[in-house]
């Protein structure tokens, strides 16, 4: 099973089941929490309304709230009283009844209370406080909330002042955390509680998380510069545990169903997918080892073609037969390529032999020296150079660049070279030679190829060069003691471009020690990996670095500079250079 599809799919299923279980558990827990909060808020609204009604039953409640707040340290409160005979609250009611016969304490308003003496006001405030606390205790027990209270807070909601707090029987009243706070207890509130208090006034969300508790606030009114709020606290520890347990149980049930479904799915995948796939795989290996397409086609015919795997088996059968056919064609193509390669190699040698390639070229002549190289971009190239003695006192120099590359350019190059040399040997001047060659090429040039040519004739005895340029690069001349500089001669049109052309001649005067350098555009246009060209300026700089050296050294140095510039970039054009050193008689 190691590395098999079934193992990988099983792992993916297991991870998917775990992920779905986790997502289900978290989402159910959050949904349950949301539902619980919504239910809490609905119930809390009901409780808060009952508390508000219990307080508002007393017409003088604004006066009472203000009095309780201002005199909290003076009041003698009987918390959680049963109002039986002999209790403090019962005695206070009896005293007030004797002093104010006919006054119903529950329905006394602010004017009735203001008419009392200060002592009786205090008694009244204490009695009503105990009555309201008793009612709040009943509401708390009826709804089973953890805490039920009424608080006062300022506009910043930084703390809350406990005015009323309900308690269960036997609960401890005090000022410590989780005790039922007594009148006047002030505590700081959390940021969550502050937001809930503020929200209660704006009728927005007013539930606040407080650890394992949840606080609810409902706005009641504004008394004595303070906001009056009804507060309810729920203990969520048990409820949250139930929610978590229920979420885990539901997630476990969902995961169990998913495991059963996954096992069934994996079984179906193994039978309907992997089994036929293994048959296809087996036959692919068979073909790999034997290259027997007939046997493979017979085996794969048993795979049902009514689904994608059946189609795959047909494709493999067809592919095996196509590969057999392709291999046969490859053998033929390979043999043909080998033949072409051999012929190209022969063409390369023939082209090399067509150009002067033995140096020194004229070992018996001490009045000049010449050196040249041609490096094609492909197996054969379209550039060519030539030098030849027309007679004992005249040396012909040619550098040329045929349009295009490869075999066509090489053929055109050979024709052009022969025509230039043969015409020059008739004694024509450079301009006449180029004119005559152009006429011959244009007479039968259906492919419309052309060649740029620089042709010069050196009169060896005087050092004078007569030259003509048919669209070729500028020659570079260094006079004795000077530096290499471009000779911006007048260009004529390229050879083979148009019939009836005539070319202009010009003269260069060499002195002993002078050097002439001619080249094709493959030198200045050599390009590096970033698309930058070597350029004429770099070429001149390389020439001047070795200007006093021999022609061979000069050309090798320029080639080294070009190679150092382009580095690993592919050679796109032929590189051809010729250098002449004139030494004089």
Q: What digits encode the pLDDT tens for the residues 400-458?
A: 999 877 778 888 888 999 999 999 999 999 999 999 999 999 998 888 899 999 999 99
pLDDT number for residue 426 = 92
- Phi/psi for 179 (5° steps) reads -85, 160
CA dihedral of 8, 14, 15, 17, whole degrees rounded to 10:
140
Q: What is the share, in percent, of the chain residues with pLDDT greater than 90?
A: 48
The 3-state secondary structure of 223-244, one letter per residue: ECCEEEEEEEEEECHHHHHHHH
Averaged pLDDT for residues 28-42: 74
**CATH for 355-582, options being 3.60.40.10, 1.10.3720.10, 3.40.50.11750, 2.40.50.100:** 3.60.40.10
Q: What digits encode the pLDDT tens for the residues 349-386?
A: 666 778 898 999 999 999 999 999 998 887 677 789 99
Provide the pLDDT confidence category of residue 2 given band limits of 50, 70 and 90.
Answer: very low
SS3 471: coil
Give the C-alpha separation, 560 to 555, whole Å.
Answer: 9
Output b/e per residue, 516-534; b: 16+ Cβ within 10 A: bbbbbbbbbebbeeeeeeb
Give the C-alpha separation, 267 to 280, whole Å.
Answer: 19
| pLDDT at position 285 over 80 | no
pLDDT number for residue 244 = 66
Q: Which two tokens stand for residue 97?
A: 């009844």
Q: Which two tokens stand for residue 39?
A: 């239910």
SS3 283: helix
Q: Are 546 and 371 in contact (CB under 8 A)?
A: no
Domain assignments of the chain as residue spans, ordered by start: 57-144, 291-354, 355-582
The winner for highest mean pLDDT among 196-205, 236-245, 318-327, 360-369 is 360-369
Provide the pLDDT confidence category of residue 326 given band limits of 50, 70 and 90.
Answer: confident
pLDDT number for residue 32 = 67
Helix segments in 229-307, DSSP class H: 237-269, 275-290, 293-300
The winner for highest mean pLDDT among 66-80, 217-231, 350-364, 471-485 is 471-485
Instruction: Say which residue, 6 or 558, is predicted with more confidence.
Output: 558
Beta bridge partner(s), residue 580: 370, 516
pTM over 0.85: no
List Cα–Cα distances, 166 to 163, 171, 579, in angstroms.
10, 10, 114
* Residue tagged 């998917």 (tokens): 16
Give the rounded distance of the alpha carbon of 510 from its chain centre: 65
Helix axes 293-300, 275-290, angle to 10 degrees: 170
Helix segments in 301-391, DSSP class H: 308-354
Give the C-alpha separation, 88 to 94, whole Å.
Answer: 10
Give Cβ neighbours of residue 46 (< 8 Å, ≥ 6 apart). Answer: 143
| pLDDT at position 139 over 50 | yes
Averaged pLDDT for residues 478-507: 94
């Amino acid at each position: 099973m190691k590395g098999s599809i079934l193992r990988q799919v099983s792992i993916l299923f297991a991870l998917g089941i775990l992920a779905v279980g986790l997502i289900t558990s978290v989402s159910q827990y959050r949904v349950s929490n949301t539902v619980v909060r919504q239910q809490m808020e609905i119930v809390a609204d009901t409780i808060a309304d009952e508390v508000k009604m219990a307080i508002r039953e007393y017409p003088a409640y604004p006066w009472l709230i203000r009095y309780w707040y201002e005199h909290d340290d003076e009041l003698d409160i009987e918390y959680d009283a049963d109002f039986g005979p002999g209790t403090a609250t019962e005695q206070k009611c009896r005293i007030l009844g004797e002093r104010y016969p006919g006054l119903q304490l529950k329905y006394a308003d602010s004017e009735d209370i203001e008419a009392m003496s200060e002592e009786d006001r205090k008694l009244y405030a204490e009695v009503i406080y105990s009555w309201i606390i008793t009612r709040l205790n009943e509401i708390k027990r009826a709804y089973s909330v953890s805490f039920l209270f009424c608080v006062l807070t300022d506009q910043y909601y930084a703390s809350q002042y406990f005015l009323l707090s309900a308690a269960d029987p036997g609960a401890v009243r005090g000022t410590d955390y989780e005790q039922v706070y007594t009148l006047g207890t002030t505590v700081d509130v959390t940021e969550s509680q502050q937001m809930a208090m503020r929200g209660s006034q704006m009728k927005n969300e007013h539930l606040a998380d407080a650890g394992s508790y949840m606080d609810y606030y409902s706005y009641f009114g504004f008394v004595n510069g303070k906001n009056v709020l009804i507060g309810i606290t729920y203990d969520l520890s048990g409820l949250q545990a139930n929610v978590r347990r229920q979420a885990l149980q539901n997630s476990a049930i969902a995961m169990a169903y998913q495991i059963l479904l996954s096992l069934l799915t994996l079984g179906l995948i193994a039978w309907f997918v992997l089994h036929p796939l293994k048959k296809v795989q087996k036959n692919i290996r068979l073909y790999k080892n034997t290259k027997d397409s007939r046997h493979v086609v017979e085996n794969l015919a048993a795979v049902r073609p009514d689904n994608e795997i059946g189609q795959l088996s047909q494709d493999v059968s067809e592919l095996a037969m196509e590969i057999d056919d392709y291999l046969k064609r490859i053998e033929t193509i390979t043999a043909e390529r080998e033949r072409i390669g051999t012929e190209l190699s022969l063409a390369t040698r023939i082209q090399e032999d067509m150009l002067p390639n033995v140096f020194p070229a004229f070992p018996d002549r001490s009045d000049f020296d010449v050196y040249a190289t041609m490096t094609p971009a492909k197996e054969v190239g379209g550039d060519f150079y030539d030098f030849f003695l027309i007679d004992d006192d005249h040396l012909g120099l040619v550098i040329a660049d045929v349009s295009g590359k490869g075999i066509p350019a090489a053929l055109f190059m050979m024709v052009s070279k022969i025509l230039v040399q043969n015409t020059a040997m008739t004694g024509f001047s450079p301009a006449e030679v180029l004119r005559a060659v152009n006429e011959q090429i244009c007479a039968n040039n259906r492919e419309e190829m052309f060649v740029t040519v620089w042709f010069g004739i050196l009169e060896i005895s005087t050092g004078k060069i007569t030259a003509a340029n048919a669209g070729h690069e500028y020659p570079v001349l260094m006079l004795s003691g000077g530096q290499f500089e471009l000779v911006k001669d007048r260009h004529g049109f390229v050879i083979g471009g148009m019939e009836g052309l005539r070319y202009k001649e010009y003269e260069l005067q060499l002195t002993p020690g002078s050097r002439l350098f001619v080249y094709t555009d493959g030198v200045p246009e050599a390009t590096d990996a970033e698309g930058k060209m070597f350029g004429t300026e770099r070429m001149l700089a390389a020439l001047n670095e070795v200007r006093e050296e021999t022609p061979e050294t000069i050309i090798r140095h320029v080639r080294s500079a070009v190679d150092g510039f382009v580095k690993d970039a592919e050679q796109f054009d032929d590189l051809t250079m010729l250098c002449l050193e004139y030494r004089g008689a």
